[in-house]
Amino acid sequence: MSEAIPLHPLVFTLQNAIEGCGFLAGITTYGKAVMEQDENEQWWMYGVCPGAIAAGGKTTNEAFLNFRNRYKDVLFDLAEECGSFLAFRNATEAFFKAEDPEESARWETALEVVRRSGSALPEPFTELPRKKAEDFPVGIQIERLENKKGSQLRPANNIQDSMSQAA
């Protein structure tokens, strides 16, 4: 018997290059979020890690796009307010690590429901790649790009922004 899935556990990857006062920071974020549709049929992506962020849209892809832009806006503000790379790195890590415990519990419950439902996900989530939650490396990498040597700058370091269904 199929089970309604009101809340979807997601994992996502975002890569940004942010200019600050005298530094160029490369930020790669491996985060968690949940997505649900509200009473106005608007899709909302709520951050779990980082927890202090949300964005909505008419479609799941639009919600993800707005989430990505909201995240970028936070990084832009942090870059403007931090006078050094170290201060920016600390502030960005603090933002990422500010987990939302209630959202985290919702994510875990949603994951259990998805696992009970097997492969019977509703559209448009059937089109998303699936990633095993335990294998997804939640975390953030912040590095100073302008200090990298030529040999350390490689196309292989480029990562596409993406969201996946946690399974």
Partner 1 sequence: MLKDCAPGSTVRLANHSRVVRFAGKAYPSLPKFDNIEYGHVRKLVRFLGISVDCAAKYLPTVFKPEPKPKPSKTSGPAK
Nearest approach, Cβ of 125 to partner 1 (angstroms)? 8
Cβ-contact 37, 45 below 8 angstroms: no
Nearest approach, Cβ of 45 to partner 1 (angstroms)? 9
Which residue, 93, 47, 9, 38, is CA-closest to 55? 47
Nearest approach, Cβ of 107 to partner 1 (angstroms)? 13
Q: Which is nearer to partner 1, 23 or 71 (CB)?
A: 71
Nearest approach, Cβ of 35 to partner 1 (angstroms)? 10
Q: Which is nearer to partner 1, 9 or 51 (CB)?
A: 51
b/e string for 77-95 if b means 16 or more Cβ within 10 A? Answer: ebbeebeebeebbebbeeb
Nearest approach, Cβ of 149 to partner 1 (angstroms)? 32
Q: Which is nearer to partner 1, 86 or 98 (CB)?
A: 98
Q: Element (H or E) spanning 82, and its range?
A: none
Alpha-carbon span 34 to 11, nearest angstrom: 8
* Strand segments (E) across 50-94: 54-57
Cβ-contact 13, 160 below 8 angstroms: yes
Which residues contact partner 1 by CB under 8 A? 1-7, 36-42, 44, 46-47, 51-56, 70-71, 73-74, 76-78, 80-81, 95, 98, 100, 102-103, 117-122, 125
Cβ-contact 46, 52 below 8 angstroms: no
Q: Which is nearer to partner 1, 81 or 127 (CB)?
A: 81
Helix (H, G, I), strand (E, B) or coil at 55: strand
Q: Which is nearer to partner 1, 86 or 120 (CB)?
A: 120
